[in-house]
Structure 1
Amino acid sequence: MPEQPIAPEPLDPKYQGQQAYRRPGESQWLPLTQDAYQLLAQTDEYDDEAKDHVRGYRASVNDLLSQALQYANLGFFAGSGTSLGAAKGPSMWQLWKAAMCTDDTGKMLTPAATAVCRRVRYEELAEPNIEHFLSQCDAYLAFSQDAEVQAFIVEVKSKILTLCSQFLEDATSDISAYRHLLQKLARRRVRDPRLKVFTTNYDMCFETAASDLGIMVVDGFSYTRRRRFDGRHFNYDVVRRDADQHDFVEGIFHLHKLHGSVSWERQDNDIFEVTTPLAERACLIYPAKGKYQQAFIQPHLELLSRFLDFLRQPNTCLIVSGFGFNDDHLSEPIFSAIQSNPSLKLILTDHCCLQHVHNAGAHGSSVYWQKFAELAAKGFDIHFLGGSFASLVDLIPALRAVSPAEQLANAVRRIGAAR
């Protein structure tokens, strides 16, 4: 077999979205499509031999994901990138333009935004960032009681709340990838722990997809007319009671919204699910650098603690999709867990995975990509998979019962491939 193609350095935007796979202990990217092969091999040719290689690489990824689904503890971590594609969720840049600007270029600030930027001394207007702006406002208000700045922040947060909830009402919004993901991952053996879905997104994509499929979600809220958050509900389960036996209901999964939801509202010391929460009472960790401190208040503390506990469990696999590792309070626990938990398998997928790994710490990529790449080079069980959220879902095999003959055939095939 010819030498496998290696992605050149440095990577440029043309590698964005390319489907490729990198194994632990290797530096080569294995192309999973014709376009990826031609780009990585820097050739226009795609003969039968190349097709065979690509099919073999896709089979390897299919086996990887099939084995991941067999882990006793399976978790799926969804970052903002999962809702930016066909679902048409808002990006951070879109949030900046909607909250701060009068035009679509993101350069013309509203008079109120201009005044607040000047007052809090926000000067990154050449390359603005909504996270940095809100962080600057929070720092300013920590030392100054300014009603004008406070009112403007509430207005900005209200727009963020609206943008992160209304896109699902758009007829062109497509969350079929979410439905297909739940259809595949929720078909786990009922004797195994329930699938754990962790997400930093505020939107209702997972809840809507589950509702479309008729799948029950355990999200920490009570099953009462007025739903109230209580972490104890994660310890409960649903069984089907027949005359002679009690069986767990299939398909149920746990949903942990680590940064809150567009349907949560804080009322005194409790958090309730409501249709349209007020911006000043919405239970969200808004996009600001102060997210680390906000993560240590309820209900975020309860959800974060369960995420940390999941990472410590034996025989655990975590699939990460669309997460840029820019949140230290989540990135650091994952990085620590892969070093301290010898049975943890980590599959990192992203639309810009190739750029993140090769340009780690530069061009907007988190340094954690470099840290994970270094551990993977040492043989840690870390796999990198480039491509969109939808392409990842397509690669995940449909989980079904495997006959003893198929189990033996798969074992022989894996042994042969390892030689």
Structure 2
Amino acid sequence: MKQLDVKLMHPVEQINMIMGRIYKSGMTTTSGGNISIRDKNGDIWITPSGVDKGSLTTKDIMCVKKDGTIIGLHKPSSEYPFHKAIYETRPELTAIIHAHPPALVAFSIAHVVPDTKIVPQAHSICGDIGFAPYGTPGSVDLGEKIARQFKDKRYKAVIMENHGVVLGGSDMMDAYQRFETLEFCCRTIVNAKRLGEVNYLTDEQVLKYVNHLPANVPHFVDIEYPSDERALRTEMVDIIRRACNQGLMISTYGTVSARWRDNDFLITPHNVARMDIVPGDIVQVKNGMAEAGKTPSRSMALHQRIYQLNPHINSIICTQPVNLMAHAVSGTKFDVRTIPESWIFLQDIPSIPFGLIYNDVDHVAKLFNENRVLLVENDSVFVTGDKLLNTFDYLEVAEFSANSLVMASAIGPLQPMGDKEIEDLRIAFNVK
């Protein structure tokens, strides 16, 4: 199975695939949203007006030629005017997404521009966000107001007053990743505000983290792919796609690794869209060296140390589900003592300071001697386990529990179990 190269797909295939992902992930409705691609010859391919987004096909995608000729089975989206206006204003942008995902719409109707510096990579992906005054949908006036914001080259994403969001990209995947990441930020901020105050990172913290890539990772070329190693690659890809489909991972962030032999392991690559990872993208790490021709996840060193210091751990998932991240960016204790089953699976979950996973790898790795899950402030959640499916199950339990705690915060103070109840659980379920 070869890596999916979206850039090599025809515009109608790209638009159909990305709109399908947006709809299935609950970020647009049957009738809402529109996306487009501008070809080098000036033609604009765009979603149709009045066609069900849940059953869209490549045959439904419209083409508006450079001379204005319309080709296709339907009418182009009614929002075509602002797509055209953005392309004219920013020739370097070749793809545009407009939709009404719930959290971004919440910011648009509150007239607030989200601060994406809740986790480092989000700000580097989304950049600064513009805000366009209200205009009647489908009107030339709206197009002019949006294009006016895009004249400022700091902006590749603009909140539309009482309407939603519009984003541009150098290609369709660039635009989609910006869209998905921005909605993740907004959902996380909303949930974090239910729990308490949101802690934002400084510009210096963002810059330091984003530039923190593994330096001088040695590589090896005598690579072997025996059947058990290939089976593990396939299992990892299945888990990654499952995590993406269930909203536990987004395309721009998420690391999965699994021990293969002794302390050698397999890990996800750096800078490959998570949903599109295939077995051949997975990086083999042997004796601290990565297989030639591939760049491993930036957290490779930490995964390696966790395996070395914790023989009972055979798989690790690091990701950013919105409810766990709401706790991580608000500094609110993730108290699993509120739900018996959650405590049995996860035990107590400590939170560690931002940056520690890179500044003190040994200390963090040792924490997994006694902890199955760690929250990293303004960064991520690390979940460990024996088999990959067990680890994924723990991740699901943790995020479901975090969701319940976020919702409970709107009802009243949390009522956790006491020490006696916890000790009873420890005895009854033989929890060490």
What TM-score do you get using the length of structure 2 for normalisation? 0.28
What TM-score do you get using the length of structure 1 for normalisation? 0.28
Structure with bigger RCO (C-alpha 8 Å, 6+ apart): 1
